[in-house]
């Protein structure tokens, strides 16, 4: 496995070693020791989540605040998504910047989103199964977010606005300037 740090400090794209033959493929999707060595973190994951979505579904931008902040290791099991991480660490040199990466069942890339980041994704294929590990438990009272189409963040979601399927909860999220940031 190889870890490539993005332009956002602490946010990594992980590329596994894939072994293909006439029977199919094999790869190690997660190894705690190797993950910690490659990312130089002590992150330990406590919870796994999975979602199924159809083309145009946009989930995000979400994060947890306070003692329930979460780091995530995300990947796609089926289909293709554009995954986005936004640095919301006020003391960071890249505060307010984002990184986008295409994750797919085909490329098997993963994105490590550390604590202090907002996260979201949009489904680019007909369907997608999105899987992620969290280093902290979910707490409804600690959930927060930023509206996906914030003008200051200027994220290119790669699909026309009319094709997006966004939850009622996500449509009313605050702008980056008005969000409750950690």
Report the pLDDT averaged over residues 143-170: 97
Q: Residue 83, SS3?
A: strand
pLDDT in tens, 107-135: 999 999 999 999 999 999 999 999 999 99
What is the model's pLDDT at position 180? Answer: 86
The tokens for 150 are 């914030």
What is the model's pLDDT at position 99? Answer: 98
The fold adopted by the segment(s) 46-171 is Jelly Rolls (2.60.120)
Q: Binning pLDDT at 50, 70 and 90, where does residue 181 land?
A: confident
What is the model's pLDDT at position 47? Answer: 95
What is the model's pLDDT at position 182? Answer: 80
The secondary element (H helix, E strand) that includes residue 48 is strand 47-54
Task: Show which residues are catalytic.
Answer: 62, 132
Domain map of the chain by residue range?
46-171
């Amino acid at each position: 496995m190889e870890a490539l740090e993005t332009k956002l400090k602490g946010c990594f794209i992980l590329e596994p070693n894939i072994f293909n033959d006439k029977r199919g493929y094999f790869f190690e999707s997660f190894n705690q020791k190797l993950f910690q060595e490659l990312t130089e973190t002590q992150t330990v994951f406590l919870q796994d989540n999975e979602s199924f979505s159809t083309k145009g579904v946009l989930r995000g931008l979400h994060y947890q605040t306070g003692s329930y902040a979460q780091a995530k290791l995300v990947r796609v099991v089926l289909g293709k998504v554009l995954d986005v991480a936004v640095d919301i660490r006020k003391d960071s040199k890249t505060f307010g910047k984002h990184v986008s990466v295409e994750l797919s069942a085909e490329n098997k890339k993963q994105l490590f989103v550390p604590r202090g980041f907002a996260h979201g994704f949009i489904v680019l294929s007909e369907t997608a199964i999105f899987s992620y590990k969290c280093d902290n438990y979910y707490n409804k009272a600690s959930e927060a977010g930023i509206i996906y189409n914030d003008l200051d963040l200027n994220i290119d979601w790669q699909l026309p606005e009319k094709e997006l399927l966004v939850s009622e909860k996500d449509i009313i999220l605050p702008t980056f300037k008005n969000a409750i940031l950690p």
